[in-house]
Amino acid sequence: MAKPRPTRPRTATGKKATPVGRTQAEQQSRDGLLARTEEGHRKAGREPAEAAPRVTSGPRAVRRIEARLVDQDIRDRPMLTEDEKLLQSPHGDLGAFTTSDPWRVMRITSEFVEGFDALSAISKGVTIFGSARTGPDDPQYVAAQETARLLALQGFSILTGAGPGIMEAANKGAKEGGGHSVGCNIELPFEQGANPYVDTLVNFRYFFVRKTMFIKYSNAFIIFPGGFGTLDELFEALTLIQTGKIYQFPVILFGRHYWAGLVRWLTSRLVGEGKVSPGDLDLMLLTDDPAEAAQAVIDAHAAQEAMHAVAQTAP
């Protein structure tokens, strides 16, 4: 009996999975991220180069600074990010590797300290995620702006990734509502800048440090239509809730039509095959109404406050 011919694994689009193809896909993915980010800035009426990185010199004051180069002396190629350097496998001179990584731990520690210091005054916060390419004339941009405005009126600080698109809409809404507008920027292989509606900007080198800040200083996540980064934050929050790390933490999917396919897949595959429990899907709220999204956050925050009050009075 003839042996079956070996077949190559294929990608989700049906292409043969090869190292060369993977390299090409990774480059195309990075190029696409850059293009979407620049598109978001242009839709807002500015060139990407105008969105310079910024830092705060006080609680609300903002001044512009030149784009910084991080650890230029140990870069081995242009625009090598700190995350990439941290996640590289050891190779070559192991002595140099074991020397650099312990020092990198100190940089990570300092970034946690900087983030905690900059955001420590936030007691009521909501992080709003979504695509960087969403323009001001998009209904989702308008909805994100209104959702943030309603929450700011209730005393919530609004946190975003500081970029254009949905992030810009949320920061803009926060300022319209008289609230605190926060941007947590991340170092990428290209300079992305920050939107002009941020009061407090913190620049992060490491994704996991930034993700910790989003969770720590938020009482809820509102997830507008977006890509891989948006999905990453969505499932990060759901995992923390499922494993009992955070409580009374609403995860709101805004845009029923956009999220419908994902919810159907979660129901048919994950729940249908017992990978998650049916009740896990109730951890997510779907809405198309800014007022409904805001009220869900307000109600959950009240429940959180009640839980803390009971915990403090317990013997």
Domain positions in the chain:
113-313
- Which residues lie closer than 8 Å to 143 by C-beta, 6 or more apart? 224, 254, 255, 288, 290
Q: Cα angle at 165 between 118 and 249, to 5 degrees?
A: 55
Give the largest CA-CA distance in the chain: 77
Q: What local confidence, expressed as pLDDT, does residue 107 receive? A: 87
Cβ neighbours, 10 Å, residue 82: 20
pLDDT for 298-308, tens place per residue? 999 988 888 77
pLDDT in single tens digits along all 315 residues of the chain: 566 666 667 776 777 767 777 677 667 777 877 888 888 888 888 888 666 554 443 333 333 323 333 333 333 344 567 756 666 655 555 555 555 677 788 889 999 999 999 999 999 999 999 999 999 999 999 999 999 999 999 999 999 999 999 999 999 999 999 999 999 999 887 667 799 999 999 999 999 999 999 999 999 999 999 999 999 999 999 999 988 898 889 999 999 999 999 999 999 999 999 998 888 999 999 999 999 999 999 999 988 888 778 877 767
Distance between CA atoms of residues 107 and 6, nearest Å: 47
Domain 113-313 adopts which CATH fold? Rossmann fold (3.40.50)
Q: Cα angle at 66 between 61 and 72, to 5 degrees?
A: 130
Helices 94-119 and 207-216 sit at what angle, rounded to 10 degrees?
20
Tokens standing for residue 283: 């951890």
